[in-house]
Amino acid sequence: MTKSFNNKLGQRGYGCVYKGQLQDGCFMAVKVLEESKGNGEEFINEVASISRTSHVNIVTLKGFCSEGSKRALIYKLMPNGSLEKFIYKRNPSNFDHQLGWETLYNISRGLEYLHRGCNTQILHFDIKPHNILLDENFCPKISNFGLSKICPKEKSIISMVGARGTMRYIALEVFSRTFGEVSHKSNVYSYGMMVLEMVGGQKNVDVTVNFSSEIYFPHWIYKHLELNEELGLLRLLKEGHEDCARKMIIVSLWCIQIDPSNRPSMSRVVEMLEGSLNSLQIPPKPFLFSPPRRSLTNSSIEMLSIQ
């Protein structure tokens, strides 16, 4: 199927992805997991989560293999790769494919479905541009459910041992219950951070330099909204896009409130995105924190409060 794994599409922390083709001509992406991934927990999570759903915004799982310590997941190939290739300024060659309102709306609907669209809630815990794949029509597909948690729809709070996810996108309550309980609102936070990066065309925090308000994008953009200043965003300054950008930013800033109870549900997020800009209020100025810079296994969390 993969011609002995001779067409490598990419490599992440979980393993490698290879291009394959079925006998009917359909192209596949085969994700081969590293053997050291926690007794197969992420593999089981992925199969259990995706097999329970069927939605236009979720990547299609065609099959899986498990033989001894070797495990692989087989997906329908997304020819345009991941969203992160198209949103950051370091990739100017891809700017012809601007992130449009329809794409953002589809992503919103996909996440809303995961929270409310089926009998079982699937909390992803790793929502970020790298895990949003794009098909031939740039329709987004959510992927990589290895860190997900499944819980009954009637439950809003879940128990969880240890933090999980990717720095820059993790809600603080996932690190410390001092900030609140872990729930679907934790994914709302990740969603908000991701959309801010989509709008700004840059990472919210550059972890290669010391933290400061100049490089913490959520703080910078909030001040511009508060003073009603021009946003100065190169990616969305085409005619008619300024209002769209402001709407995305206001919704995102609601999503990244530190207190989970102040964040909207994903269904409310969709309502705000579909509504008019004039109906949206700028959220209270949040206590904006730079994300933890230490390992997830370190219980000591280093944070910088930006006033």
Domain layout of the chain by residue ranges: 8-76, 84-306
* Interatomic CA distance for residues 142 and 218, integer angstroms: 24
Taking each helix axis as running N to C, give the angle between helix 242-255 and helix 217-226, from 0 to 180 degrees, rounded to the nearest 10.
120
- Residues with pLDDT less than 70, the chain: 13, 36-39, 89-102, 113-120, 152-156, 159-163, 205-215, 229-240, 286-307
CATH topology match: 8-76 vs 84-306: no
* Interatomic CA distance for residues 287 and 88, integer angstroms: 26
Residue type, 273: L
Q: What is the pLDDT of residues 163-202, one digit of tens each?
A: 678 888 988 888 888 888 888 889 899 999 998 888 877 7
pLDDT of residue 55: 74
CATH architecture of 84-306: Orthogonal Bundle (1.10)
CB atoms near residue 187 (< 10 Å):
28
Question: 24, 126, 135, 259: which one is catalytic?
Answer: 126
Q: What is the pLDDT of residues 95-126, one digit of tens each?
A: 445 566 667 777 777 777 666 656 567 788 89
Establish whether 126 is a catalytic residue.
yes
- pLDDT over 70, % of the chain: 72
Classify domain 8-76 at the CATH topology level.
Phosphorylase Kinase; domain 1 (3.30.200)
The DSSP-derived string for 66-101 is EETTEEEEEEE--TT-BTHHHHSTT-GGGTTS---H
pTM of the model: 0.82
